[in-house]
C-alpha cells in the first residue's frame, strides 16, 4: 500500500479518484507526522456508490449462499495472511499498542468465520399441517443496499461487525470509514479488490459528515449501521426513522468495574488496569469507573492501582522497545481529543474529586508532537459528578467507594449509559445478583473487558444502543434479512 498517495474510493469494483470538496491530512498521533490525505467526498460521489450497489444487488442476492461465503473465505484468508501488516498500520494511524491492534485483527477474522457459516445460520423454519393440507414456512431474504458509518478507534474491527454478515446474507454494502483513520480500510479493500467480488457488491466512500448525512438521507439505502457518540446516535435514529431505514446505532459508555471484599485483589488490579488503560481508554468497552465496596477495599485498591499505574509505559506503540509490552499507553487520537480530556480532568477536580495520579504534561522521547497522556486517577468521586456521567475516552480512571453491592447496582442502573459492567468476586451469590439486576448489555464476572466473542451478540442498553438488534453472531442476521412468512397448500391434480 502506497501511504504517500492520496486515498481513493472504491466504487463498482474500481479504484476511483474521489469527487471531493477538499482533503484532510491523516496524521500519526504518536508523532504528528502526516501520513496521507483523505478526500472529503461529495454526495454525488456517494450517489455513484449507491447506484452501483443497487445495480449489483439482484445478481448478488440470487447467487447461492455457499458461493457468497466462498468469496468471503478468500478475503478471510488474505486478512489472515496479512494480519501483522494490518495491525502495524492500525497502530500507526490510530495509536493503539501492537497487542491491542493484533487482537482487533483477530476479531475481524472471527467475524468473517462466523459469517462464513451463513448457509447454516440463514436457514428458515417450516411447520407442516398448520391446518389440514396447509404448511407454514419462514424464509429469510436479503433486502438491498446497506451502509456502515464507522469510528476511528477500531478502524478494522467495527466495519467487520457488519460487512461480512451483510454480504453473505445477500445484500450489497457501502463503508464510510472514519476520516481520522481511513488507511486501514484502504488496505483491506485492496484485498477485497483481489477476491473476485462482482462489481458494486462492496464499496468504499471516504469523507466526513457530509457523506454520512447523505447516507442517512439516501432513498436507496435500506439500512445503516453506525458506531459513535450517543448524541450522534440520536440523530442517526431520528433521520433513519424519518427516511424509512433500518438502523443500528452503538453509542457512548461509562463502564463500571465493581470490586468486592472477597475478590482476588492482585489479579483484579492487573485486569482492571488493562481494561481502563488499553487503547489509551479509547474504546467503548473500556472501564473508567472502579467501584470499591467497603472502606478497606477502597483503601487497598486505590493504593495498588496508583502504584501499578505509575509503572505502565507511555509511548509510541511502534517503538521497538515497546512493541512486545503487554500494556502500553499510546497517544489519544488528536490534539483536540487531548484538550477535551484535560478539560474534563480539571472539571473533576473542581467538582471535588482528588487527583491521585496526574498524566498531563507527560514527555515522550520522539513524540514531542504526539498527543500523549499518561494514566490519570481521580479518587473520591461521587455519582453525578461530570467525570462520572461523561464518557471521557482517555486514560483516566475514576475511583469511587460504596457501602454495599446494592448501592453500586443502583448507581449503574441510574446511569444514562448501559454498555457494560464487571464484578470481581469469588462469591456466587454476588455474581448472580450482579448479572441479573444490573441494567447493562454486557456483563463480566472477573473479566475487565466483557466484550463477547464474535459468535455472540455485542451491544448495550439505554443510551448506549439506539437499536432493537445487536451486532455479531446470529442476532445481526435479523437486521440484514427480511423474514417472509409463507402459508401454502396444493390441491391434488384431477
Q: Give me the active site residues, please.
A: 284
Which three three-digit cell numbers place residue 322? 515497546
Which three three-digit cell numbers place residue 300? 487497598
Under 8 Å CB-to-CB from 75, ≥6 apart: which residues?
A: 112, 191, 192, 195
375 in Cβ contact with 312 (< 8 Å): yes
Chain position carrying cell 450497489: 53
SS (H, E, C) the chain: CCCCCCCCEEECCEEECCCEEEEEEEECCCCCCEEEEEEEECHHHHHHHHHHHHHHHHHHHHCCHHHHHHHHHHHHHHHHHCHHHHHHHHHHHHCCCHHHHHHHHHHHHHHHHHHCCHHHHCCCEEEEEEECCEEEEEEEEECCEEEEECCCCCCCCHHHHCHHHHHHCCCEEEEECCCCCCHHHHHHHHHHHCCCCCCCCEEECCCCHHHHHHHHHCCCEEEEEEECCHHHHHHHHHHHHHHCCEEEEECCCCEEEEECCCCCHHHHHHHHHHHHHHHHHCCCCCEEEEEEECHHHHHHHHHHHHHHHCCCEECCCCCCCCCCCCCEECCCCCHHHHHHHHHHHHHHHHCCCEEEECCCCCCCCCCCCCCCCCCEEEECCCCCCHHHHCCCCCCEEEEEEECCHHHHHHHHHHCCEECEEEEECCCHHHHHHHHHHCCCCEEEECCCCCCCCCCCCECCEECCEECCCCECCCCCHHHHEEEEEEEEECCCCC
Which three three-digit cell numbers place residue 289? 469507573
Tell me whether residue 4 is exposed, middle or buried, using C-beta atoms within 10 angstroms of its C-beta: 0 to 12, 13 to 18, 19 or more: exposed
Amino acid at each position: 500500500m502506497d501511504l504517500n498517495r492520496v486515498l481513493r474510493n472504491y466504487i463498482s469494483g474500481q479504484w476511483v479518484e474521489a469527487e471531493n470538496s477538499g482533503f484532510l491530512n491523516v496524521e500519526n498521533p504518536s508523532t504528528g507526522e502526516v501520513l496521507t490525505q483523505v478526500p472529503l467526498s461529495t454526495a454525488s460521489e456517494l450517489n455513484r456508490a449507491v447506484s452501483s450497489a443497487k445495480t449489483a444487488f439482484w445478481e448478488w442476492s440470487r447467487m447461492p449462499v455457499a458461493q457468497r461465503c466462498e468469496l468471503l473465505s478468500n478475503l478471510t484468508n488474505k486478512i489472515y495472511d496479512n494480519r501483522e501488516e494490518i495491525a502495524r498500520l492500525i497502530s500507526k494511524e490510530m495509536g493503539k499498542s501492537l497487542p491491542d491492534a493484533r487482537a482487533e485483527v483477530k476479531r475481524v477474522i472471527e467475524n468473517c468465520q462466523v459469517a462464513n457459516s451463513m448457509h447454516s445460520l440463514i436457514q428458515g423454519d417450516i411447520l407442516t399441517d398448520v391446518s389440514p393440507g396447509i404448511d407454514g414456512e419462514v424464509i429469510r431474504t436479503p433486502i438491498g443496499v446497506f451502509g456502515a458509518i464507522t469510528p476511528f478507534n477500531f478502524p478494522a474491527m467495527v466495519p467487520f461487525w457488519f460487512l461480512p454478515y451483510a454480504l453473505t446474507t445477500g445484500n450489497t454494502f457501502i463503508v464510510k470509514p472514519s476520516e481520522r483513520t481511513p488507511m486501514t480500510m484502504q488496505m483491506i479493500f485492496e484485498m477485497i479488490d483481489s477476491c473476485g467480488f462482482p462489481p458494486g457488491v462492496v464499496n468504499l466512500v471516504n469523507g466526513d459528515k457530509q457523506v454520512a448525512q447523505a447516507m442517512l438521507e439516501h432513498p436507496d439505502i435500506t439500512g445503516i449501521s453506525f458506531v459513535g457518540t450517543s448524541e450522534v446516535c440520536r440523530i442517526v435514529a431520528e433521520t433513519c426513522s424519518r427516511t424509512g431505514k433500518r438502523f443500528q446505532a452503538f453509542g457512548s459508555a461509562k463502564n463500571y468495574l465493581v470490586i468486592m471484599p472477597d475478590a482476588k485483589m492482585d489479579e483484579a488490579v492487573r485486569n482492571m488496569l488493562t481494561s481502563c488503560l488499553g487503547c489509551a481508554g479509547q474504546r467503548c468497552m473500556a472501564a473508567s469507573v472502579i467501584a470499591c465496596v467497603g472502606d478497606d477495599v477502597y483503601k487497598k485498591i486505590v493504593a495498588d492501582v496508583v502504584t501499578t499505574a505509575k509503572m505502565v509505559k507511555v509511548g509510541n506503540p511502534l517503538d521497538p522497545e515497546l512493541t512486545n509490552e503487554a500494556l502500553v499507553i499510546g497517544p489519544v487520537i488528536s490534539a483536540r481529543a487531548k484538550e477535551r480530556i484535560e478539560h474534563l480532568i480539571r472539571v473533576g477536580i473542581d467538582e471535588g474529586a482528588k487527583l491521585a495520579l496526574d498524566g498531563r504534561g507527560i514527555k515522550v522521547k520522539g513524540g514531542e508532537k504526539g498527543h500523549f497522556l499518561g494514566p490519570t486517577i481521580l479518587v473520591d468521586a461521587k455519582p453525578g459528578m461530570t467525570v462520572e456521567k461523561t464518557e471521557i475516552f482517555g486514560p483516566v480512571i475514576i475511583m469511587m467507594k460504596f457501602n454495599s453491592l446494592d448501592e453500586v447496582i443502583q448507581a449503574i442502573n441510574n446511569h444514562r449509559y448501559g454498555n457494560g459492567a464487571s464484578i470481581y468476586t469469588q462469591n456466587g451469590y454476588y455474581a448472580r445478583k450482579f448479572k441479573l439486576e444490573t441494567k447493562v448489555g454486557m456483563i463480566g464476572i472477573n473479566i475487565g473487558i466483557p466484550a463477547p466473542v464474535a459468535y455472540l451478540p455485542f451491544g448495550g442498553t439505554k443510551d448506549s444502543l439506539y437499536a432493537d438488534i445487536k451486532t455479531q453472531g446470529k442476532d445481526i442476521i435479523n437486521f440484514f434479512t427480511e423474514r417472509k412468512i409463507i402459508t401454502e397448500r396444493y390441491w391434488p391434480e384431477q
